[in-house]
Amino acid sequence: MLGTGENIRTGTSIASLKKAILDNLYYIQGRTPELATKNDWYMAVAYTVRDRMLRHFIHSLKRMQDAKVKIVSYLSAEFLMGPHLGNNLLNLGITDQTRQAAKEIGLELNDLLAQEEEPGLGNGGLGRLAACYMDSLASLTVPAIGYGIRYEFGIFDQEIHDGWQVEKTDKWLRLGNPWEICRPEISYEVNFGGHTAQYLDDKGCFRVRWNPHRVVKGIAYDTPVPSYRDDMVDMLRLWKSEAIESFDFQAFNVGDYYKAVDMKVVSETVSKVLYPNDEPEIGKTLRLAQQYFFVSCSLQDMIRIHLARGKGIETFHESFAVQLNDTHPSIAVAELMRLLVDEHLMDWDSAWQITGKTMAYTNHTLLPEALEKWPLPLFKRTLPRHLEIIYEINRRFLDDVRHRYPGDDGLVARLSLIDESGEKYVRMAHLASVGSHRINGVAALHSNLLTRTVLKDLYDLYPDRFVNVTNGVTPRRWIALSNPSLTALITRSIGDRWIRHFEDEIRKIEPLADDAGFRQEWRKIKRKNKARLAAIIQERTGIVPNPDSLFDIQVKRIHEYKRQHLNVLNIITLYNRIRKNPGQEIIPRTFIFGGKAAPGYFMAKLIIKLINSVAEVINTDQDVAGRLTVVFFPDFNVKSAQHIYPAAELSEQISTAGKEASGTGNMKFSMNGALTIGTLDGANVEIREEVGQENFFLFGLSAEEVHNEKARGYRPRDYYDSNPCLREVIEQIWSGYFSRGDAELFRPLVENLLNHDPFMLLADYQSYIDCQDGVSSAYHDQERWTRMSILNVARMGKFSSDRSIREYCDTIWNIKLTKGG
Ligand code: NBG
């Protein structure tokens, strides 16, 4: 029986949900319960949940037609949303009813949650940040559209074979995607290649026409992004590339069927696959095509929405605040100019004003080699009209620079949008900066270093444009969804307002750090989460971790600057101590690693092999049995992350100071009660400030010390020569101790450390080891450790993405928050 007055599509009583699931199974999946597969059931439940978002979704889209409302347009080549079902149930507040409804049908909700294949449309932190920001935008009831690419294949699935990473195609769409709504009628044409022609229009004005070589079409796929327990449902609009019909036609007319099909294949290639690098790779035409493709569709869509509000094009910036998530979408500066000047016939100066007021740019990296630049010939071949526009932007920009700094040719060359120091390149960070009214870094240290290193000249020119917005993560997915037991405990203690108002409310658990009963429950929950993770690890790897050992975890992309191999040096050091003194008492530890290496990044892949090789030796050594365990958790992604963070006790944030822009995993760990061992890098600095230095394990050189040591001429070999423990560890790796006698395998890694060590592992080694000893002794005192853990969570308010979004609204988008403030 349905609850009184309940609708089959919207009702949230157990009876309504149950009926709806069975209905959707029949009418959407075309199955009866007897024949339904697990995926059929998952789909039926997913559609049932989606139905319950649509009323608010449609209403929110209607609100976007209101000319008074400014819409945030978050342009990002990556959105790492994670599995939708659990999160949507949570945000709608119908998890318990749905669990019960499923149960009455004979289904386990957890099995259905496990059935969902996550959309891995991102590489790491940058893509996941975009997803957290979408959650906060909706929850703060800010109208927002996330614009990106609907990659057919997301980030590869990682398998481990013989200790090595093997990449497998991610076929996430294979079984269908119930969360998206395809909108074939929302589509735009995007041009590529060809040439431009100048002409005088009927008023005698100089105009440019672009005659492209190729045209593809972008189709919108919309995914609702619900707020946490509020009416707002924002939208993720991803573009899929397709062939335009006219091309098929032409070929058909001359009877060339195969050419028509070829054209279709080429067009569909644009949104085919996510580039699996978290640093850009120079010279991939397809990547530039992807960037331009999604940016052009998105800007055309925004202009359509703006004009549909009945407003003139000259007020575009009042309708949209466009945020460029790194330089990947920075072609938007030139594309908006093209649309305004060439298509909407606006004069250059007005168009430039509007562009600057609309755009803002977030930088996510300090690694100079990671700043995107495109070889000029490639750029010209792909986007001839945009190159002309960029030249014109550059001409005016550099005139201004010359005017302000007469005679400084060096400065002009450094600031130019075109790098002419050797082979010519278009500098995308410069384009983004010149075309934006705000430029931000993602943590205080990072923003500060930006103005002193990679963007220094731009900062000197436009100091008022630079601001900091420290990253944040959503406490909904990362605590309420991932850690239900902790969520229940906190809610029992301080009520449930903390989930929505994390910034102010979570602090209320601070006094409970002194409550022995609370501490005991806290520990029980951690123990339970560890046991749950241990079971998953056993299932995935065959390794059986001891749930009473200290869970010491490093999960993130594999990169030399993140220094997973420094962690390995500590593991081997501990191992050597036990070998020499088997009877000694030590705190048992389980070291867990997870993360993907870019497929072409040799050293990162070798680090994975090293971890697995060390694991093999240590895990099978009877002398250490149960005391040290090393695990490489394969295929780290959002789904597995939700099991990993809640089980962590120690969070490894050990990048070389000055290299990690912010980090966001560091926040997820700390929010789940892990203590951090870390350097003064990225947001670690602010996390330590918030939780208190006595609740944070700090080690290593500061960014400034790293800089100075390098300036003095860093010699890693000096550290090697003078530290016997370090020497022993390096020699073991070198000699084949962990590679069955193969002394060649890890040679590139060891030689790099001894001769160059660009990330200064050897300089930080002893400080890291000492700090790890401090961790062990702190862990010895479980009451003290628990107190520190509680204080970490209590003081994480600042790192809610709600706070970040509030700051973006205030200092960048000029949007007044109506609610939740
Ligand atoms: C990454 C940084 C991280 C940061 C995220 C989100 C890129 C280019 N940058 O430190 O490495 O947390 O961006 O800002 O992926």
Q: Per-residue DSSP letters for 542-577?
A: S----TTSEEEEEES---TTTTHHHHHHHHHHHHHH
Ligand 1: nearest atom to the Cα of 362: 14
Look up residue 180 and give its DSSP letter: -
| Per-residue pLDDT tens digits for 377-434 | 999 999 999 999 999 999 999 999 999 999 999 999 999 999 999 999 999 999 999 9
Ligand 1 pocket test, pick from 79, 121, 126, 439 with the greatest ligand atom count within 8 Å of Cβ, gives 126
The answer as to whether 54 is a domain residue is: no
> What is the helix (H) or strand (E) element at residue 45, kind and residue range?
helix 38-63
Q: Is there a single domain that holds both residue 700 and residue 666?
A: yes
Helix orientation angle between 38-63 and 14-27, rounded to the nearest 10 degrees? 110
Question: Domain residues for 541?
Answer: 475-799
Residue 79 CA to residue 263 CA, distance in Å, equals 28
Ligand 1 pocket test, pick from 662, 666, 684, 799 with the greatest ligand atom count within 8 Å of Cβ, gives 662
3 state SS of 208: strand
Q: Is there a single domain that holds both residue 259 and residue 359?
A: yes
Q: Is there a single domain that holds both residue 588 and residue 463?
A: no
Instruction: Considering the candidates 237, 562, 565, 806, report the single residue annotated as catalytic.
Output: 562
User: What's the CA-to-centroid distance between 173 and ligand 1, angstroms?
Assistant: 27
Q: Is 562 a residue of the active site?
A: yes
Q: Whose CA is nearest to atom 13 of ligand 1?
A: 126
Q: How many C-beta neighbours within 10 Å does residue 395 have?
A: 11
Residue 658 sits at the vertex; the CA angle it makes with 657 and 661, to the nearest 5 degrees, is 115
Residue 821 confidence (pLDDT):
43
Q: Is there a single domain that holds both residue 484 and residue 412?
A: no
Ligand 1: nearest atom to the Cα of 364: 9
Residue 3 confidence (pLDDT):
54
User: What's the CA-to-centroid distance between 489 and ligand 1, angstroms?
Assistant: 32
Q: Is there a single domain that holds both residue 419 and residue 542?
A: no
Helix orientation angle between 564-580 and 602-619, rounded to the nearest 10 degrees? 20
User: What's the CA-to-centroid distance between 653 and ligand 1, angstroms?
Assistant: 13
Residue 150 phi/psi, 5-degree rounding, is -90, 80
The answer as to whether 821 is a domain residue is: no
The answer as to whether 780 is a domain residue is: yes
Ligand 1 pocket test, pick from 121, 323, 442 with the greatest ligand atom count within 8 Å of Cβ, gives 442
| Token output for 95 | 């998890």
Q: Is there a single domain that holds both residue 305 and residue 379?
A: yes
Paired strand residues for 632: 593
Name the stretches of the chain with pLDDT < 70: 1-4, 246-253, 279-283, 819-821
The answer to whether the CB of 210 falls within 8 A of the CB of 388 is no
Q: Whose CA is nearest to atom 15 of ligand 1?
A: 126
Q: Is 364 a residue of the active site?
A: yes
Instruction: Considering the candidates 128, 240, 364, 627, report the single residue annotated as catalytic.
Output: 364
CATH number at residue 287: 3.40.50.2000
Cβ-in-10-Å burial (0-12, 13-18, 19+) of 705 comes to: middle
* Helix, strand, coil tally for the chain in percent (to 5): 55, 15, 30
Instruction: Considering the candidates 664, 676, 679, 786, report the single residue annotated as catalytic.
Output: 664
User: What's the CA-to-centroid distance between 661 and ligand 1, angstroms?
Assistant: 6
Q: Is there a single domain that holds both residue 167 and residue 137?
A: yes
Residue 458 confidence (pLDDT):
98
Pocket of ligand 1 (CB under 6 A): 124-126, 129, 278, 326, 364-365, 442, 471, 660-664, 682
The answer as to whether 501 is a domain residue is: yes
User: What's the CA-to-centroid distance between 125 and ligand 1, angstroms?
Assistant: 5
Q: How many helices (H) and strands (E) are present in the chain, helices listed first? A: 35, 22
Residue 440 CA to residue 442 CA, distance in Å, equals 7
Residue 819 confidence (pLDDT):
62
Residue 259 confidence (pLDDT):
78
Ligand 1 pocket test, pick from 133, 275, 278, 365 with the greatest ligand atom count within 8 Å of Cβ, gives 365
Cβ-in-10-Å burial (0-12, 13-18, 19+) of 30 comes to: exposed
DSSP string, 264-325: HHHHHHTTTB----SS--TT-HHHHHHHHHHHHHHHHHHHHHHHHTT--GGGHHHHEEEEEE
Residue 21 CA to residue 100 CA, distance in Å, equals 12
User: What's the CA-to-centroid distance between 395 and ligand 1, angstroms?
Assistant: 32
Q: Is there a single domain that holds both residue 498 and residue 466?
A: no
The answer as to whether 820 is a domain residue is: no
- Residue with tokens 């013989």, as numbered in its chain: 162
| Per-residue pLDDT tens digits for 576-586 | 999 999 988 99
Q: Is there a single domain that holds both residue 453 and residue 488?
A: no
DSSP string, 375-428: EHHHHHHH-HHHHHHHHHHHHHHHHHHHHHSTT-HHHHHHH-SEE-SSS-EEEH
Q: Is 203 a residue of the active site?
A: no
Residue type, 723: N
Q: Whose CA is nearest to atom 9 of ligand 1?
A: 364
User: What's the CA-to-centroid distance between 568 and ligand 1, angstroms?
Assistant: 23
Ligand 1: nearest atom to the Cα of 128: 6
Q: Is there a single domain that holds both residue 425 and residue 479?
A: no
User: What's the CA-to-centroid distance between 127 and ligand 1, angstroms?
Assistant: 9
Ligand 1 pocket test, pick from 279, 364, 369, 446 with the greatest ligand atom count within 8 Å of Cβ, gives 364
Residue 2 confidence (pLDDT):
53
Q: Is 577 a residue of the active site?
A: no
- Residue with tokens 């670690």, as numbered in its chain: 684
User: What's the CA-to-centroid distance between 718 and ligand 1, angstroms?
Assistant: 32
User: What's the CA-to-centroid distance between 144 and ligand 1, angstroms?
Assistant: 22
Look up residue 658 and give its DSSP letter: T
User: What's the CA-to-centroid distance between 364 and ligand 1, angstroms?
Assistant: 5
- Residue with tokens 């189709």, as numbered in its chain: 219
Q: Whose CA is nearest to atom 12 of ligand 1?
A: 663
Q: Is there a single domain that holds both residue 461 and residue 553?
A: no
3 state SS of 256: coil
Ligand 1: nearest atom to the Cα of 663: 12
Q: Is 424 a residue of the active site?
A: no
Ligand 1: nearest atom to the Cα of 661: 10
The answer as to whether 6 is a domain residue is: no
Instruction: Considering the candidates 18, 477, 556, 565, report the single residue annotated as catalytic.
Output: 556
The answer as to whether 43 is a domain residue is: no
Ligand 1: nearest atom to the Cα of 442: 14
The answer as to whether 91 is a domain residue is: no
Ligand 1: nearest atom to the Cα of 326: 8
Residue 5 confidence (pLDDT):
77
Q: Is there a single domain that holds both residue 493 and residue 572?
A: yes
Instruction: Considering the candidates 476, 557, 565, 589, report the single residue annotated as catalytic.
Output: 557
Number of structural domains (the chain) is 2
